[in-house]
Chains A and B, each alone.
Chain A
């Protein structure tokens, strides 16, 4: 399943990014929580966008119809 695999990839990227944020700018627990929130929000946003576009093309009701001139 392409959907689950890519979702997994997003999750992995999200985890790596949050680990990076944790390691690179460790400025106390409050700041770390803030960075984690940012990374999670960004990952969720990106994943949602991808998932919507992917799902919309999974079972197409309409297909591309080429223009006459081409």
Chain B
């Protein structure tokens, strides 16, 4: 690789064209001021620390304990956040008063708060459980009481019936039965027990069936559904439940039933048989319920207050913890000196930030009252520095478009500079309609005017993307208004804005207008497409020919710009080989074929010749010596074509062969030199070791270089054809756009207009608006955007852009927030 020198001397370096010059710096910080120093460096956010402890696991590093502490604090904060979101307490926005609290205070503070909160939670949970149990108990008392009352009533009725029977019909048998019945009853009543409780409604049927089976039918179950869902005490969820009473006989049956109850999650409650006791119980339970309720309410109020106070400072604490964690994380990347008195850090920083960093180091030394200052020095290395572009809110989104393809190599020419204009321009070539352009412009202006509001709040995915690209969309809309004026389309309707149409009827009767056509009577329409073409039978042939040729002309121009940028790259990196054996033959090849085609197109337009350009181009290859005949556009065309063809043919081996051989010769020369001058001085060799660059003694594989060059050449030669063809997408998409908008205008709006009916017109307008917005403004925008993206990434950037760099990722507090979200 050649030396990385400065740019051309004639003019100042252009913003964004090259990434910021960087250097590798070393800072040696005394251990007592390390935390403060790193914190100040994080405020500046212009230094990217290298991990000097890469071989150590996270637990072996110096500040592992502190990171664990921060993690613990973050966990507590997350707990608080969880609790706050459950209790609907929103943390107040970043508080204006910034109190200086340090990590130790915060740790104590948070610990206390957490203990308090967990205690409150545990208590309130216990209380809530008791409350829920009481509620269930009350329900059981009420419902089961009803059973018993009903049963008693019916029993009484039976008794009466029975007694009436007995009194009314005294027979011989009665005395006998009377004697027996009470005894039998008594013996049964002793064994008959019952259980009451609640079972979830969903399980009630199964519960009943299992009970019946388990006791072989020797059971009597009554159920009544509870109208409102009750909160289950054990799970805390709302469940619809049934109150049940089950009568059984015998201890074995009881134990079986108990087990079944447990399995079904049925809560049992004791139930007094005595009626007066029941009433007493109910009043007692109600009293306790209201008591518990007030206790729980005060508990909740207390908890709410606590969370409110946490919410006030939550953001601040969260920021502090995040900052501290990142500081210790960074400190862990520094290597500790053997004397354990200072930390040594290495990192990349832009050269312009040197003064800022030194000031920060000094300030940290003073503020931490350290006796020894930090040392700042620049290291020399052959490693490739990271790529850093200083973008603003306008250029940032365009740079993102370029970075999405690949981050530029350090100091490589940045296509982003031209993308700012050419991207929206190529988009607009495909999206030329000034009505649609105005619609998009209004939408973006709305976004831009509310920029402050939107940038502070969280947006949805799609909205976020649109908002991030608002300046791209702004330029896109401005250019589409321009191209729309050129295409003379306003929602597909042409206007005679700049002058009357150049075409008119041949005679007063206009008889031949539909057969031979109009005639040009004035000067050419001065700006854009003549409105007379709209709706005519020859509109499509004319527009197709125009747009196809325009695509090729624009494409050749942009590809030439790409190759010229490769020239500036070679110039910047002092790479003469690339200029002579890559840039020049590439220019010759592309312009010898497609530059010539562009020239033919322009000449044909200017002269109005009827030459067939396809024929000219095809026979330029097939039989270059043949006479051109009527396809001749200018004198000596045949000779010129022969020369161009020969030059293009020569350009291919010119690209392919010399470069690998020259590289090999260069490599041999430098290696020979190195073997003689290796033992120059101790200082140099030390520095080489300090740089510990693995690419220092790179093996030179001739075959690899040759194959690489072969691929590059083939790619360029084939690419010249296929990329030119690829630009025809400009024609295809702009055709699709104008046809679609014509269809919507004529087949929806004009059709609805033709009915002379207000309702139909109204419906037509609605359909037109939705179709325009949905299909043209949203989907067409997306597709044109994607195609413009492709034209930039592939057709433009592959001419010069390597894009194998890596992005500058400084240690910065300002960037922390974005990463976490």
Contact = CB atoms under 8 A, between A and B. Distances in A.
Interface of A: 2, 6, 29-31, 33-34, 37-38, 41-42, 45-46, 48-50, 52-68, 70
Contact of B530 (A41, A57, A61): A57
B360 to A, nearest CB: 24
Contacts of A50: 486, 527-528
Contacts of B1: none
Given A33-B14, A49-B486, A52-B550, A63 B518 contact: yes
A48 B536 CA distance: 26
Interface in B548-562: 549-550, 553-554, 557
Interface residues of B, number: 58
B524 A54 contact: yes
Contacts of A67: 514, 535-537
28 contacts: A2-B523, A38-B420, A41-B418, A41-B420, A41-B421, A42-B425, A48-B557, A49-B550, A49-B554, A50-B486, A52-B550, A55-B602, A56-B550, A57-B524, A57-B525, A57-B529, A57-B530, A58-B606, A59-B606, A61-B610, A63-B518, A63-B519, A63-B538, A64-B530, A64-B533, A65-B513, A65-B516, A66-B535
B553 A52 contact: yes
B517 interface: yes
Contacts of B610: 61
Interface in B1-49: 11-17
B188 interface: no
Contacts of A6: 526-527
Contacts of A70: 535
Contacts of A37: 14, 417-418
Nearest to A55: B605
A62 B540 CA distance: 11
Contacts of A53: 486, 528-529, 546, 550
B608 interface: yes
Contacts, number: 134
A48 B503 contact: no
Nearest to B418: A41
B672 to A, nearest CB: 41
Given A65-B515, A65-B517, A52 B549 contact: yes
Contacts of A57: 502, 524-525, 529-530
B528 A48 contact: no
Nearest to A36: B14
B619 to A, nearest CB: 21
Nearest to A63: B517
A64 B538 CA distance: 5
A9 to B, nearest CB: 10
A64 B606 contact: no
Interface of B: 11-17, 417-418, 420-422, 425, 429, 479, 482-483, 486, 502-503, 513-520, 523-530, 532-533, 535-539, 541-542, 545-546, 549-550, 553-554, 557, 602, 605-608, 610
Given A64-B517, A65-B538, A66-B517, 17 more contacts: A2-B523, A30-B15, A37-B417, A38-B421, A45-B421, A48-B554, A49-B550, A50-B528, A54-B526, A56-B546, A57-B529, A61-B608, A63-B517, A65-B515, A66-B513, A67-B514, A70-B535
A65 B525 contact: no
B526 A66 contact: no
A55 B549 CA distance: 11
A42 B724 CA distance: 22
A62 B16 CA distance: 47
A30 B12 contact: yes
Nearest to B534: A64
Given A64-B532, A66-B537, A67-B536, A33 B15 contact: yes
A42 B421 contact: yes
Nearest to B523: A2
A30 B414 CA distance: 14
Contacts of A41: 418, 420-422
A49 B535 CA distance: 22
A65 B175 CA distance: 125
Contacts of A38: 417, 420-421
A61 B530 CA distance: 14
Contacts of A34: 14-17, 417
Contact of B608 (A42, A59, A63, A64): A59
Contacts of B608: 58-61
A45 B425 contact: yes
A48 to B, nearest CB: 7
Contact of A60 (B15, B520, B550): B520
Given A64-B533, A65-B517, A66-B513, A49 B429 contact: yes
Contacts of B418: 37, 41
Contacts of B545: 56
A56 B608 CA distance: 9
B17 to A, nearest CB: 7
A64 B525 CA distance: 13
A29 B12 contact: yes
A46 B557 CA distance: 13
A14 to B, nearest CB: 12
Contacts of B14: 30, 33-34, 37
User: In this complex, which of A33, A50, A64, A68 has the most chain B Cβ atoms within 10 angstroms of its Cβ?
Assistant: A64
A58 B601 CA distance: 13
